A and B are shown apart, each in its own frame.
Chain A
Amino acid sequence: DQQVKQNSPSLSVQEGRISILNCDYTNSMFDYFLWYKKYPAEGPTFLISISSIKDKNEDGRFTVFLNKSAKHLSLHIVPSQPGDSAVYFCAAIKGFKTIFGAGTRLFVKA
């Protein structure tokens, strides 16, 4: 049973437009949510996080939104750049446990 779900395996966006990556979770007890980015042949790297008591966190072009009532998390990238093309993993933390989604592959077209 997947507690963290990324239902879109891939997303294609034009350069300069907004990319929105979505994530749903089932456990309301998670403390933190994170997004990681992964390029081919490299390990995932941390991108941005949000505490469960917040509803928004922003870092430059990246903003994460948390809707606790809907158990939904989204990552907005504005404006999207070709270098943002990667696989994005949503992750949720409770204590020592981090649970990852299956990932969404983002293609940003020039």
Chain B
Amino acid sequence: DVKVTQSSRYLVKRTGEKVFLECVQDMDHENMFWYRQDPGLGLRLIYFSYDVKMKEKGDIPEGYSVSREKKERFSLILESASTNQTSMYLCASSPPFTNSNQPQHFGDGTRLSIL
């Protein structure tokens, strides 16, 4: 089974702090994704990566950046945390986009609170 592991289940940070969310997958997947989940809005894509050192903006990249130095690890960075970034953050991975119906495999999420 694919395992996607997010480093923290719960995180509390202060406004203005630089925040790092880490994600590791063990299935050698090319694609990795960061979403945030908010009530009534579903999952919204922040960034994704289709290869090491490659990244593409999703629908809501403002205020975030990402890093993918190794294939198995994808980090989400909040450059200067703000209260509107309080949310559930979900990391996912999947095989290459050549097979469009390949589902994404998700971690258990990080609930981030910015005070």
Contact = CB atoms under 8 A, between A and B. Distances in A.
A19 to B, nearest CB: 19
A46 B101 contact: no
B90 A44 contact: yes
Contacts, number: 56
Shortest Cβ-Cβ A-B pairs, 9 listed: A43-B106, A46-B103, A100-B43, A102-B42, A100-B42, A32-B101, A31-B100, A96-B97, A43-B108
B61 to A, nearest CB: 14
Interface in B68-107: 90, 92, 97, 100-101, 103-107
A31 B35 CA distance: 21
A41 B6 CA distance: 12
A48 to B, nearest CB: 10
Interface string A30-57: 0110101000011111100101000000
B48 interface: yes
Nearest to A41: B108
Contacts of A96: 31, 48, 50, 56, 97
B109 A34 contact: no
A9 B42 CA distance: 11
Contact of A44 (B9, B41, B97, B106): B106
Nearest to B92: A43
Interface of B: 4, 9, 31, 35, 40-45, 48, 50, 56, 90, 92, 97, 100-101, 103-109
Contacts of A46: 103-105
Contact of A32 (B9, B35, B100, B108): B100
Contacts of B101: 31-32, 34, 49, 51, 93
Given A41-B108, A44-B90, A103 B100 contact: no
